[in-house]
Amino acid sequence: MSSWERFLDTFFNGKILARYLPDILNGTVVTIELAALVVVTGLGAGLLLALVRSFGIRSVNWLIIFTVDLFRALPPLVIIVLIYFGLPNAGLSPSGFISTWASLAMVLMAFSEEIFWAGITSVSKGQWEASRSTGLTFGQTLLNVVLPQALRLTIPPLTNRTIAITKGTALGSVVAVTEILGEASSAVSNSYNPSPLILGAAAYLFLFIPVVVLGRWVEKKYTWKR
């Protein structure tokens, strides 16, 4: 067997690829579900915290800042391990899926809150004053005047951060989540061949290249034009 044939047999073994393709597809579905939950809950919670912070309640703001800084500083894998292995000692036993979702959602919440907050504070003071002078309340000014402008300013950093964090779904394999990497790693162990990792890599490319392209399109369409 030539070197090229050994390479193909090691990384592109047709029989092994065909045998484990259904498992990788199942893992892809789990990854999509997990990533969607992380994005929706993480961005939603981050936006909510930024809006609450806008009201300037000092004690609440200090609590938000502490929470945000904590989850920005901790690696996602550490949070996953703490939730999955630590909470059972408190009488709670979250699954690997729940642990991964909660961990990545909190990390995305922390980063997105800072991005949303930066967008809100970047809107000029004159916008606030002009809106309040027309009789709008603080809340109406925030939601109807400031927030639409702030959201457009936050699109580029928010898109990049969201893509980076959702790729962290692969960390779920550490706590037995059957996402793409988990299925691929299991297949490698059972087949004694790394070919399933090629399937896993292809699945990640299939999922995230369209997301990256979509993110770039959103940035071009909705960000401010110079």
CATH superfamily membership of 31-222: MetI-like (1.10.3720.10)
Which DSSP symbol is given to 215? H
On the 0-12 / 13-18 / 19+ scale of CB atoms within 10 A, 4 is exposed
Q: What is the pLDDT of residue 37?
A: 94
The alpha carbon of residue 93 and the mean position of all alpha carbons in its chain are separated, in whole angstroms, by 23
What 3-state class would DSSP assign to 96?
A: helix
Q: What is the pLDDT of residue 179?
A: 87
In this predicted structure, the answer to whether residue 3 has a pLDDT above a threshold of 70 is: yes
pLDDT tens for each residue of 133-184: 888 888 888 888 888 888 888 888 888 888 888 888 888 888 878 888 888 8
Mean pLDDT score of the chain: 87
Contacts of 64 (CB under 8 A, 6+ apart): 49, 52, 53, 113
Tell me what the mean pLDDT of segment 199-212 comes to.
88
Q: What is the pLDDT of residue 110?
A: 95
Residue where the block lists tokens 């995305």: 108
Contacts of 25 (CB under 8 A, 6+ apart): 203
In this predicted structure, the answer to whether residue 225 has a pLDDT above a threshold of 60 is: no
CA-atom Rg of the chain in angstroms: 22
Its pTM surpasses 0.95: no
